[in-house]
């Protein structure tokens, strides 16, 4: 399926969806309350069948914290970038997708650890790399300051 065909199919499945295209990926941007429903449809629809989450990354862009999901259909051989974000920096919460793609399990824990985004309904939402007892803050946020190592993000 070409990117143009993929965009057409996405608009059939998700009327009114926010779809764009970079040089490599078709990008589908969803609201936080539609994330789980959209992810399930992307995997479950036989004409899309995005069965593989090959990369998941946290993002901090201006006022919003978000997640980018890089998806592939291993049998249909097409790719998609799914994006979601929230402007709630004090208590960012998104739905988990680890019940849809198992690879999200550790990715979501890492994003929680580094960005502070909590994934609702995740089976083991706790820090993965940083000391849970002593660590304060989220090192990959742009507003993070480390007084000991003098790390500032602008």
* pLDDT tens by residue, 104-117: 999 999 999 999 99
Tell me which residue of 62, 79, 9, 73 sits closest to 17, measured CA to CA: 9
Q: Is the pLDDT of residue 5 over 70?
A: yes
Q: What is the pLDDT of residue 22?
A: 81
Tell me which residue of 40, 120, 51 sits closest to 86, measured CA to CA: 120
Q: What is the pLDDT of residue 135?
A: 80
Q: Is the pLDDT of residue 150 over 70?
A: no
| Superfamily holding 3-152 | NADH:ubiquinone oxidoreductase Nqo5 subunit (3.30.460.80)
| pTM of the full structure | 0.91
Q: Is the pLDDT of residue 152 over 90?
A: no
Task: Decide which of 49 and 139 is more confident.
Answer: 49
Distance of alpha carbon 143 from its chain centroid, rounded?
20
Q: Is the pLDDT of residue 48 over 90?
A: yes
Q: Where are the domains of the chain?
A: 3-152
């Amino acid at each position: 399926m070409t990117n143009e065909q993929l965009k057409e199919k996405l608009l059939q499945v998700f009327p009114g969806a926010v779809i764009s295209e970079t040089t490599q990926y078709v990008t589908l941007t969803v609201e936080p309350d539609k994330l789980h429903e959209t992810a399930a449809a992307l995997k479950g629809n036989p004409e899309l069948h995005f069965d593989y989450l090959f990369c998941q990354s946290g993002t901090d862009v201006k006022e919003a914290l978000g997640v980018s999901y890089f998806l592939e259909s291993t049998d249909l051989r097409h790719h998609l970038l799914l994006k979601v974000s929230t402007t709630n920096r004090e208590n960012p919460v998104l739905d988990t997708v680890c019940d849809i793609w198992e690879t999200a399990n550790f990715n979501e824990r890492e994003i929680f650890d580094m960005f502070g985004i909590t994934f609702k309904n995740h089976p083991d939402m706790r820090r993965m790399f940083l000391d849970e007892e002593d660590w304060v803050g989220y090192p990959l946020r742009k507003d993070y300051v480390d007084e000991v190592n003098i790390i500032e993000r602008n």
